[in-house]
Amino acid sequence: MSGVFAVTTRTVPTGTVLAFAGELDSGTAPAAHGAMTKLSLNAGDQLVVDLAGLEFCDSSGITVLVSAHNLARGAGAGFALAAVSRQLGRTLDILGLTGLFATYPTADDASAAWSPAGSREDGVV
């Protein structure tokens, strides 16, 4: 089903924003993983995955999100999702993953809320 997919990254004072746009599925997940391997995360940073441009996400995409979370936590960084669609939020809830991800309406909101000293071990702020 792979359609148009784009990955962009930007550095913000709290860390990195990784934005996915288009369709995140089995055909585009390798590109998402490839972008993640190029990230430079430091302890105390926050990785925000911005989903504002995401139109579709299948199980391969969910795996990408979990991998991004694990990458951040492995580096001692925080993790948050931004602009989670209603449909994706429902899917994450059904899968029991809502407790894994801190979520915010926008990437800017996630960055504004980040406090490495005040974050909990599970990554939820």
Break the chain into its structural domains and give their ranges. Answer: 5-111
Buried b / exposed e along 86-107 (16+ C-beta atoms within 10 A): eebbebbeeeeebebbbbbeeb
The answer to whether the CB of 81 falls within 8 A of the CB of 100 is no
Q: Assess whether pLDDT exceeds 70 at residue 3.
A: no
Mean pLDDT of the chain: 91
Looking at residue 123, its pLDDT comes to 44
80: helix, strand or coil = strand
Instruction: Tell me how far apart the alpha carbons of residues 123 and 104 are, in angstroms, rounded to a whole number.
Output: 13
Looking at residue 117, its pLDDT comes to 63
Check whether domain 5-111 has CATH 1.10.540.10, yes or no: no
| Averaged pLDDT, 59-83 | 97
Tell me the C-alpha to C-alpha distance, in Å, between residue 43 and each of 6, 72, 74, 92.
Answer: 27, 9, 9, 26
Each residue of 76-107: pLDDT tens digit?
999 999 999 999 999 999 999 999 999 999 99
